[in-house]
C-alpha cells in the first residue's frame, strides 16, 4: 500500500470517479466533507463524529445511544458533581484492571507490537500519561511543566520536545506502568476531596507552548475529557489485544 503523508493540503479538492477501495485514512481532517453516490460497503469509520449525516439522517446521536447500550459504563463518564466524578474514576479504574492483568501475561514484545498500524499497548498507556498531564496536570492543576518525558502526544501535537517529552523514548512496559499508576493516583486523590466549587471554577489555559487550545473552561469539562480519553483508548487497546489472539 502506498503511503501519503503531510504537509499536502487537499482541502477543498473534488474527487470524481476516484477509487479509494481498501484505503486507510489515519489522523485526517474530514470536517465538512461531502460524499455523494459513494459505495461504502464494509467501510469502518472511527473518530470524532458530530453532525455527520448519512442518507439525510444525523447519525451521531444514534451511534452514541448504541454505544451506551453496548457499554453501559459510558453513562457514568459524564459527571458534573463531586460524587459522580468519583464514581466516574472508579469506573475507569474498574474497566482497566482486568485489561492490565491480561496484558501482564503477555510477552514484552507483544506489548510493543502494533496492530494494523495503530499504537501498541505500551504506546497507548504512554498517550494516556500525556493526556492526563495535559487535561489534569496543566488544565486543572495549572502546572507550568506538567509533562512526563515518557508521555506520547497525539500526532497533531508537533512540539512534544518543547514540552519536555522525549520523542525518541522506548520505555519498557514496567516503566510505563509505574508512571501511569502515579498519574492515576493523582487523579484519584484529587477527586477524593474535590468540591463543587472546585469543579465549577473556570481555568484559563496556560500560555503556549502547550494544550488545550485557548479558551476558558471549567475543571469539570477538562475532567470529562480525561474520562472520554480513558474509555476510548481502553476500547482501542482491547480491540488490538483481541486481534493478537
The CATH number assigned to the domain holding 86 equals 1.20.120.450
- What is residue 89's predicted lDDT score, i.e. its pLDDT? 98
Going residue by residue through the chain, which has 245 residues, state the pLDDT in tens, using 9 for 90 and above: 667 666 677 788 888 888 888 888 877 888 888 888 888 888 888 877 888 888 899 988 999 999 999 999 999 999 999 999 999 999 999 999 999 999 999 999 999 999 988 999 999 999 999 999 999 998 899 888 899 999 999 887 888 888 899 999 999 999 999 999 999 999 999 999 999 999 999 877 665 555 666 567 899 999 999 999 999 999 999 999 999 87
Question: How far, rounded to the nearest angstrom, does the alpha carbon of residue 132 sit from its chain's CA centroid?
Answer: 10
Is 25 domain-assigned? no
| Contact between residue 243 and residue 115 where contact means Cβ atoms under 8 Å apart | yes
Is 63 domain-assigned? no
Is 185 domain-assigned? yes
Domain count, the chain: 1
Q: Give the residue numbers spanning the domain of 152.
A: 75-244
- What is residue 108's predicted lDDT score, i.e. its pLDDT? 97
**What are the grid coordinates assigned to 48, written together?**
470524532
For cell 448504541, name the residue: 66
Q: Is the dihedral of CA 104, 243, 133, 185 positive or negative?
A: negative
Is 14 domain-assigned? no
Is 5 domain-assigned? no
Long-range own/partner contacts, residues 169-177 (CB < 8 A, 24 or more apart): 169/126, 171/122, 171/126, 172/108, 172/122, 173/103, 173/108, 173/111, 173/112, 173/121, 173/122, 175/150, 176/122, 176/125, 176/126, 176/129, 176/150, 177/100, 177/125
Is 163 domain-assigned? yes
pTM, rounded to two decimals:
0.84
Is 154 domain-assigned? yes
Amino acid at each position: 500500500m502506498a503511503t501519503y503523508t503531510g504537509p499536502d493540503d487537499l482541502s477543498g479538492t473534488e474527487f470524481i470517479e476516484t477509487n479509494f477501495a481498501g484505503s486507510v485514512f489515519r489522523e485526517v481532517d474530514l470536517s465538512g466533507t461531502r460524499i455523494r453516490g459513494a459505495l461504502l460497503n464494509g467501510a469502518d469509520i472511527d473518530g470524532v463524529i458530530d453532525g455527520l449525516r448519512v442518507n439525510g439522517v444525523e447519525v451521531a446521536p444514534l451511534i452514541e445511544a448504541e454505544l451506551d447500550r453496548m457499554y453501559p459504563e459510558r453513562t457514568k463518564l459524564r459527571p458534573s458533581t463531586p460524587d459522580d466524578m468519583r464514581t466516574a474514576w472508579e469506573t475507569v479504574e474498574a474497566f482497566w484492571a482486568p485489561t492490565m492483568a491480561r496484558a501482564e501475561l503477555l510477552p514484552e514484545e507483544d506489548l510493543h507490537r502494533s496492530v494494523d498500524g495503530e499504537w501498541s499497548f505500551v504506546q497507548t498507556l504512554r498517550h494516556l500519561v500525556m493526556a492526563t498531564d495535559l487535561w489534569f496536570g496543566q488544565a486543572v492543576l495549572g502546572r507550568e511543566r506538567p509533562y512526563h518525558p515518557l508521555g506520547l502526544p497525539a500526532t497533531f501535537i508537533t512540539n512534544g520536545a518543547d514540552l519536555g517529552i522525549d520523542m525518541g523514548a522506548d520505555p519498557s512496559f514496567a516503566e510505563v506502568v509505574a508512571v501511569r499508576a502515579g498519574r492515576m493516583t493523582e487523579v484519584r486523590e484529587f477527586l477524593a476531596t474535590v468540591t463543587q466549587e472546585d469543579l465549577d471554577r473556570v481555568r484559563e489555559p496556560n500560555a503556549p507552548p502547550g494544550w488545550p487550545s485557548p479558551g476558558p473552561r471549567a475543571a469539570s469539562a477538562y475532567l470529562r475529557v480525561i474520562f472520554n480519553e480513558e474509555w476510548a483508548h481502553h476500547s482501542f487497546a482491547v480491540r488490538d489485544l483481541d486481534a493478537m489472539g
